[in-house]
C-alpha cells in the first residue's frame, strides 16, 4: 500500500500559494533571504510586509505544530558552535548563489528561470552529498 505524505503535500501547496499571492499582491518574490535582508536594511515603505511575512511563517509553523501535536525537533545534541558555522555557511551560500532555496526553488523555477533551475540543482546535489558524508563518512 502506497503511503502519501499528506502533510508534505499540504505544506507544498501552502508554500506555492503564499509565493503566488505575494507575487500577485506585492509583485515580490518570496525568497526568504531577500525578505530578511530587507528587514535588516530597514528599507522605508518596504518593511512592514516583510515583518508580517516572517512573523506569519514563525507563528504559522508554531500553530500547526501545536494543533497537530507534533513534537519540536530535539537539537540539544548539536553544539552552539555548529549552529553558528551552519548559519554562516548558509548565509555565504545564499549570497554567492544570489538567493536562497525558496527564492530559486519555488519562485525561480515557477517563473522558468534557467539560473534558478541550475541553482536549485546545485543546492540539491550539495545537500545530498552533505547528507551522505554526514551519515556514512563522518
Q: How confident is the model at residue 1 (pLDDT cuts 50, 70, 90)?
A: very low
Residue 107 · residue 29 · CB < 8 Å: yes
For range 103-114, the mean pLDDT: 86
Quote the percentage of the chain above a pLDDT of 90: 15
Over residues 79-94, the pLDDT tens digits come to 889 889 988 888 888 8
Looking at per-residue confidence, does 54 or 99 come out higher?
54
For residue 125, what pLDDT is reported? 93
Inform me whether the pLDDT recorded for 16 exceeds 70. yes
Return contacts of 125-128, CB within 8 angstroms, 24+ apart. none
Amino acid at each position: 500500500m502506497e503511503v502519501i505524505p499528506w502533510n508534505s503535500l499540504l505544506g507544498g501547496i501552502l508554500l506555492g500559494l503564499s509565493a503566488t499571492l505575494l507575487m500577485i499582491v506585492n509583485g515580490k518574490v518570496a525568497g526568504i533571504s531577500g525578505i530578511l535582508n530587507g528587514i535588516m536594511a530597514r528599507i522605508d515603505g518596504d518593511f512592514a510586509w516583510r515583518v508580517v511575512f516572517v512573523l506569519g511563517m514563525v507563528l504559522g509553523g508554531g500553530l500547526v505544530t501545536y494543533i497537530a501535536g507534533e513534537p519540536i525537533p530535539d537539537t540539544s545534541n548539536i553544539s552552539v558552535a555548529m549552529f553558528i558555522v551552519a548559519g554562516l555557511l548558509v548565509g555565504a551560500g545564499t549570497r554567492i548563489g544570489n538567493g536562497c532555496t525558496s527564492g530559486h526553488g519555488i519562485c525561480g523555477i515557477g517563473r522558468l528561470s534557467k539560473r534558478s533551475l541550475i541553482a536549485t540543482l546545485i543546492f540539491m546535489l550539495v545537500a545530498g552529498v552533505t547528507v551522505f558524508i554526514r551519515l556514512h563518512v563522518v
